[in-house]
Amino acid sequence: MPTKRKYRGRADHRDAEVGRRVRAQRLARGLSQTELGTKIGVSFQQLQKYENGGNRIGAGRLERIAEALKVPVSFFFPEDSAASLAPAHQQNSPFALLSTAGAIHLVRAYARIHDGPARRALVEVAEYLADVVGRPVRKSRKA
């Protein structure tokens, strides 16, 4: 009688990191989920599940994704294998940051600014906004 496996193949934090890297590279290439999904033979909904870390990406599919995005398969894995043992939110992953809505657009715009002082000013404005506006809003009590 076969024994039950303890691990059932569910996606975990490592799969979520691979998904974040897929999303970041897709956005860097300017592809929609539908476009990449068509290239690799899945629906945009399935690609969305891969990117969100909800579903695991099989080896063959990951190879097709790498080909479509023109990166080696190794791109999707952390260089430091110890980093893959910690959940991505603890790693402060740049891919997690780049998957934030608008991050790729902001980085592209920053790269087009060639004036050093203007770049520094943009960083200072962004940091100021993150400090002031990025804080959770407290609801005021009415007297």
Q: What architecture is domain 13-100?
A: Orthogonal Bundle (1.10)
User: How far apart (Å, rounded) are the C-alpha atoms in residues 108 and 91?
Assistant: 24
**For residues 3-33, b (16+ Cβ closer than 10 Å) or e, as one string?**
eeeeeeeebeebbbbbbbbbbbbbbeeebeb
Give the pTM.
0.59
pLDDT digit of tens for each residue in the chain (143 aa)? 455 545 566 778 888 889 999 998 998 888 999 999 999 999 999 999 999 989 999 999 999 999 999 999 998 887 765 444 445 444 456 666 776 767 888 888 888 999 999 999 988 898 888 888 876 665 555 54
Per-residue tokens: 77: 């894995």
